[in-house]
Amino acid sequence: MKTNRLVGLSFLLCGTPVWPLFAEQSDTAQPIAEIKAMAESGDAESQFQLGRRYDKGEGVPRDLVEAAKWYRKAAEQGQAKAQDNLGVCYDRGEGVAQDHVEAAKWFRKGAEQGLARAQSNLGICYDRGTGVTRDSGEAVKWYRKAAEQNYAIGQFNLGLCYATGQGVTQDYMEATKWFRNAAGQNLAEAQDTLGDCSAMGVGMAKDEAQGAIWYRKAAEQNYAKAQYHLGLCYDRGQGVAKEPAEAYKWLLLATRQGNEKARAITAALQKEMTPAQIAEGEKRMREFHARPAPSP
């Protein structure tokens, strides 16, 4: 191992939250004709479900404008999931002109009804300062509401606030508590971050082997940053036995997703590997099948 590429497993908590996400998938078991009939008769739940069908192209051609139209009809009747999804449409500019103020307005409507996703999404608005004046304290308030409902993204984002001291007093032990809660629900970002905490001994006793376990959980969900970290573990023998072919596999997988740090280390590692080791690493990479990520 050459010293100039002994890159540490850095504990990088930049305070960037997980972005707004749509509500759960539509009910694909219900016939589309039945959903349309009920939606057109004014049933709010059916309007939401029809919006999701158009959003995903399930049983109908994908049409983001139609999706936003039906989300709006349901949202205007007070359907909280539709309000949250309409907020995401405005946040991303999908099916409507991008408008962060409108996004925050609809997130708030869903959040005030107690919908955890909407609470987390509104927290992100305050965290980013999009559609509302940036306010770390308000971000924490809404993240906490979502986190206390066991919503993994809210838990992770609240953990970031504690780790960075944004909106709360910095507290690494409290941060890792929330990361652990989210990681236990298979949120890859939380698993990778908890791997950092374990590997570096931040907010908990240092345990490189446990760090590698958390990296693997996230890497197996095809999370590029964790694949990079796990590749480093195998490259350095940190928390796992040193194994060049396995390091190469994970670094290749991260590189394939555009991770530039992984790309640089892969190129350097390749120069130190035998042709057989390279071939084995490439074989393992091709055989990799990601585990499905959990539904938000």
Tens digit of each residue's pLDDT (9 = 90 or more) over 183-242: 999 999 999 999 999 999 999 999 999 999 999 999 999 999 999 999 999 999 999 999
Helix 152-164 and helix 188-200, axial crossing angle in degrees, nearest 10? 40
So what's the pLDDT on residue 12? 44
Cβ neighbors of 244 (< 8 A, separation 6 or more) are 234, 235, 269, 272, 273, 277, 281
Summarised one tens digit per residue, pLDDT across range 265-291 is 999 999 999 999 999 999 999 999 988
So what's the pLDDT on residue 17? 72
The ranges of the chain annotated as CATH 1.25.40.10 are 12-185, 191-296
Summarised one tens digit per residue, pLDDT across range 8-48 is 333 444 446 766 666 666 566 789 999 999 999 999 999 99
Q: Is the pTM of this model over 0.85?
A: yes
So what's the pLDDT on residue 23? 63
Summarised one tens digit per residue, pLDDT across range 173-190 is 999 999 999 999 999 999
Half-sphere CA count of 214, side-chain side, radius 13 A: 28
Whether the predicted pLDDT of 296 surpasses 70: no
So what's the pLDDT on residue 88? 96
| Domain 12-185 homologous superfamily, CATH | Tetratricopeptide repeat domain (1.25.40.10)
Q: What is the CATH topology of the domain spanning 191-296?
A: 1.25.40
Tell me the C-alpha distance between 218 and 254, whole Å: 12
Summarised one tens digit per residue, pLDDT across range 133-163 is 999 999 999 999 999 999 999 999 999 999 9
Sign of the CA dihedral with 161 first, then 167, 171, and 174 last:
negative
So what's the pLDDT on residue 9? 35
Average of pLDDT values for 50-75?
96
Question: Quick count: other Cβ atoms within 10 Å of Cβ 247?
Answer: 25
